[in-house]
Structure 1
């Protein structure tokens, strides 16, 4: 069976949807590619962002809560999310973030110089230069992410022995891994088990890993069971099919197919321009539209 080549998407909980839209569209320059709803709670948006070309492995999604229920960062969550930028563009991005009033700190993460900051709802973000230069000053997808594990050694075992990630380095604080696909997504796990987190605004809900198709997804479901990891049924998310598991470090992992993709209900140039509902909610469209905050697209 194929190993995991890359991150499929990362999903986080944020606050006001228009504040979320303005930050990721206007400050970071990402593209809103899908307005839909949380399939478990259609009164809440599920917003998808990507780079301008909607590159696979570059999808960031959000559940915008409007109840002011902030979370507590800790085990069972993803940590800081790092986006890749062009080689030589750190100064450009530092100045851009400062111009928008974002507090930025120059740090070290993934063994590289990193711009660390928070979004408008306290979500931990970073920018890291990739190996290639580009004339476009744009986000080029994910560089990687931190995983906040309650059992770092068990999470490491899953990543390396089952999912096929490569361990790059470790020091007295962190373990550092990399996916084997062409994206080379980087994963850092703090060695010290993290205190228990609580989901809410400003926290990462889950990390989704890319698999080719439904056949490979079904194989992963069986493989997880072999390693005594529970798995959900295969779920249809319209744009992909997926399964969920909670690994031994208490982090929610999703395994998601690459297809059918985001153009099944909108043309590429129109992605994100209108609310798309799954078939089971279409009959109550007017009710859900009245509950959702109107997006300033």
Structure 2
């Protein structure tokens, strides 16, 4: 079982929490699966969006800081988040983004797949891709985003790097990814779990300015491991390769270790268990402020201070 099984989650930074919540639940039609706080800064939310249960591979999370400066896309960072959407849904999303005054580009094609790029309210770059093969994952649907349009989870994440080779070596020789496609300076690596595991695209941008992680940028990406034993297996390998990696940390909904890959991007390895139903039933996910045990004594203070989302 010692395998990476694709993308687990992607964490980004936003500004206003209410705008973020409105955009990803109402406009994008994602389910709000968890309202909790940043484990390192409990006076700040940590918001989770995904499918019905917050399945690994669908989870987009945000740290919203009201007065955060605007970030800048560049090298040494993840620069694009790609979602999978069904065949025939591009026109729906074009009209929806237009109606919501969202900045977007006309549909284009990459590796033979049609995609639509837009910018979220904080400047985060998101792509909606119609995959070559239909994505079988069951989507979360809303009154205005139905099954024939809804996102299925992550299709890919893009890392922009000065030199892709050290990162590519890590993906292939340690994590079992394979180079699937290549066009000019973009290289697509496939997860050992296959297409629904989420691709990792490496874009080589020699001479481009280094990015700045702040509002509207990706903070880190998390790869999925089935259990703690697999996580510790990889932790040992990464230590042997000279990469500084954290001890295992309890994030309540999964166990995590963090490290910077050779290109400078912050990576996490996150376990499947225990999942988001550990403290709420599926039917009511995301409806209450859920706190880790160390901050439960601060509940009254935090509930008064944290902005209401709806």
TM-score, with structure 1 as normaliser: 0.95
Give 1:132 shift: 2.0
Pairs within 5 Å for 1:1-297: 2-105=2-105, 106-130=107-131, 131-132=133-134, 135-182=147-194, 183-193=196-206, 194-296=208-310
Q: Provide the secondary structure at the position in 2 that maps to 1:263.
A: helix
Question: In structure 1, how many angstroms separate the alpha carbons of the residues matched to 2:111 and 2:50?
Answer: 22
Give 1:68 shift: 3.8
Give 1:70 shift: 1.2
Q: Retained in 2: the 8 A contact 1:209–1:254? A: yes
Higher mean displacement: 216-225 or 150-159: 150-159
Give 1:199 shift: 1.6
- CA offset digits 1:92-113 (Å, max 9, x no partner): 2212221212122123335422
> CA RMSD of the aligned region, Å?
1.6
Question: In structure 1, how many angstroms separate the alpha carbons of the residues matched to 2:159 and 2:255?
Answer: 23
Question: In structure 1, how many angstroms separate the alpha carbons of the residues matched to 2:111 and 2:11?
Answer: 21
Give 1:233 shift: 0.7
Question: In structure 1, how many angstroms separate the alpha carbons of the residues matched to 2:308 and 2:68?
Answer: 18
Structure 2: where are the runs of 5+ without partners? 137-146
Structure 1: where are the runs of 5+ without partners? none
Question: In structure 2, how many angstroms separate the alpha carbons of the residues matched to 1:133 and 1:278?
Answer: 34
Q: Provide the secondary structure at the position in 2 that maps to 1:285.
A: helix
How many residues are matched?
A: 296
Higher mean displacement: 12-21 or 125-134: 125-134
- CA offset digits 1:25-54 (Å, max 9, x no partner): 111100100000110011110000002353
Higher mean displacement: 248-257 or 82-91: 82-91
Q: Retained in 2: the 8 A contact 1:150–1:195? A: no
Question: In structure 1, how many angstroms separate the alpha carbons of the residues matched to 2:189 and 2:82?
Answer: 14
Question: In structure 2, how many angstroms separate the alpha carbons of the residues matched to 1:115 and 1:292?
Answer: 34
Give 1:20 shift: 0.3
Question: In structure 2, how many angstroms separate the alpha carbons of the residues matched to 1:221 and 1:184?
Answer: 20
- CA offset digits 1:152-209 (Å, max 9, x no partner): 1111111111111110122322111111214141221112244222221011000000
Question: In structure 2, how many angstroms separate the alpha carbons of the residues matched to 1:197 and 1:36?
Answer: 28
Q: Retained in 2: the 8 A contact 1:110–1:186? A: no
Question: In structure 2, how many angstroms separate the alpha carbons of the residues matched to 1:150 and 1:282?
Answer: 43
Q: Retained in 1: the 8 A contact 2:77–2:265? A: yes
